[in-house]
Structure 1
């Protein structure tokens, strides 16, 4: 029993029937500094009644009793814990011991908050980086929309002047203006307006302006989709569309170093937290682009998707320098980065792994020095389950 308690990562005690501690594992001793005393002596006085178990009935239907209480730490402060009391019964039905396991609720909450804060910080960093790129991407179509609008304003004035000449030529007059003179004035006005040029360029300007506004609208829609706020519950989503959206919003990060080739197969909608997966896709795409920055020639990033039984499989690959075999597993550790100081936080791949585990999926890497790197994502299509690479 002591060996079993020693292996538990949470504070664990074995107590007698009367509640005296007979064994304390290392985490519990480090946390409370107590051993050999009554277990209740560590509990906040106001919570003692909530942790008292019925020893007489414990072995009639053996089951863990769960409670919450505040436990005193070595610094004499109290923290709230979730505690389970499991009876250990003899063959004749007598209660022999209690196994008590306490989980620090506040510590777990702090860890979750830290994870959420790290995720939010990475998203804010990504959104800031993308916003600068999107501003550049939006600026180009906005410029030619502006230029075309100014051209159309000038063309309107020229056409209006021509129309006024036509009206004057067609209006009744008391003077002696013959038709030859009227025709001459109209032809002169047409020559001034350069009517043949306007007839060709006005439709072109309108078409280009519509194309530019659609480009801007597409970028805004992609950014809105990328920044999708997840609900607390997973929902079915189109991951192929999410990949296309990510490629669109990250275009400025990639276009100078690589071409992106999409080979997206037919995928059913996948039950997931889409906002988290958008962040994973972005991290992998930007990492691939960063890996190709120093390549002598233009690189290629290939993104593919397919189904494999109950799983959706998505691959991000590049033809960059590759990752040395001795650090391939370290890249998923928090704060590990091969980028120069100021260029990477080392959180991207760590959070990608956390997101995949949260979905019951996995992320793996294959890399050959001098040939490139491939990240493989596997996600259960219908929700969380164990899916291995």
Structure 2
């Protein structure tokens, strides 16, 4: 049978599977029925000796072998025995039981081929001593188990004999590994067979149909007493055999199981046997061995056995001494390396720069004769700079500094050409070892051992050492020690890099904190402006309603008034109300900027219209106008009205700045084809803007003008308009030398700000029937004004004070037009419009929304529902025109 072993775990390739063992056990000889029955009968406490003798005499072979063993001179019977009955009577049950076991086991399980004879003899010697010790232990703890304990101890290692018989080569390999690795026998068997002699012996005992209590002794003798107690109802017998086995191992100086002393202590405690009695048990065992060894053809003098064991132990100790000397030598070198490792760790603990790191590494290695030449270097993979140090045993050191190519190859200066060839070769080959792994890898480039590590896209570093001959011949522990040194260096390098990064982050943080403070101030100002915007929107809503009532009443009075003087006064009231309304509109536009209504426009035409509007006052202030228009200018997409508002604000500001001293006002344009943008500059020669005010100039309500010349909303509104056009507005100003406002606009933003579709106005046409209109508004005075104005035009009017009542009226009656407010109690105007568009009867009902505070989103929703929007306060004539147009469209 061939045995195949592995260097890693000595596993044997697989004839020795558990299935194979079972099949081979089934091929072993079956004990004769008479012999097995005689053995079982001899184990009974109340055995009938006559019955036992007659049973044994029924087998002639068994009779002959029993008589030969009993008549042996060493047994000490007074005369020769001729019958089994005489042997049983004169020799006693114990002698007969030994004879039976000697016949059964020795004859039917001889112990393998010749080359295993020595191992087989050792097993039988160990088993016999274990059986004797088990009987003696049982006599002092559980006397009724004495005879059974003897048999259990004798048979406990029967599984080893099975392995030796079935797989002799594997048995030899198990013994070799056990001695080489200093393993206990169960561990060695498990590594190779993936089972052990306890399990194998149990299978054989069950096949031979031995009593259950003997099977448990064979199976459980290597278990802890707790496991025995949980596995067997009669744990005492396996515990006795287990203790006897451990004590025998101690007597024969064999390797005990792991934690053998703890196992002995646990068994002694469980069996309530004092440790002081062990010496007496060993003495009695030696005497009993001499009586029983004859039945097993074993050496009768146990001292001779011990002598042989001692000789083997001395031979082993001699080999261990040589091995220990070699290990001590290696250990001395390892200790030296560890000492140097500790010194290096302490030296590098406080370094804060790469320069200090290089110097400390070279300093610690100086005088360490194991390293004849050493190199440590770092390649910064961002700057491609190589920096390091070389040291030679004896104290000479040299710095390394150069750059590397993109492929990692060093580029040496002329003064570095005299580097030693081996060193140049190691550094030139480093590009082949470069990697981004944090793990330390080991390679060889004779005479250097190289330890490499790095971090992807950050750095790469190597420790290269040339070892002396005696260190090269050491085992892997030396290289492990140098790997730990490389680990310390790597940790120190990364700590230095972290420290440098922290310093940089500290500076960045200081700058960021300063910027944060500036932004916080801006946020505070922005929050204040937002609050002002909300206040403006709320104020506009509250003011617009009463203004609408005043305006409408004034317009009605003006229409009825015949006196021209009173008519002019009423017109003045209406004009001032429009002025107030315009201020409120500006406030609301500031709070909620309107999106631009994009159209194709000529920027020069817009500038000319603004200049024509206010240019007539320039001569009064000695202001000369100059236009510098770019002839390449092309049309742009923008909101013409909003652009006029921006340029009007900027040119008025320029005029105000030059009113005292006059000067030249320059309006210039430029087309930038590369960026598809236009630039407009408004340049004045006025008083300029103080530096501390330049950052505030676009803030709402901030103004440098004298009282009454501005509200402070012009530039802030202009900034909002330009931002909505995805443009930029900025300024340059020097106090006393004028100011330049620069506006930059994209040529085409139609994809981002699509132009709203234009609807053609329907021509006026007379109303064919007397229409009915429903007015919904929560303001009673507005309802009255609207009702009066509409009835004067021949229109029937119904009113509702909230959205809910108005919706109920629409369900009951038919109307031709709906006038409603958005902000109403119970139900708002938009909710009413949504219901109308989904209803069956009023889905097409025209709607005009009269509101003072509608947002751009709300106005967009009104348009989506097909409605029109009129701002409060409104012109009566304009309202009536919109009403007539809506009614005509509905009729058409």
Q: Return the TM-score normalized by structure 1.
A: 0.39
Q: Return the TM-score normalized by structure 2.
A: 0.18
- Normalized per residue, which structure has more helix? 2
Greater RCO, 1 or 2 (C-alpha within 8 Å, sep 6+): 1
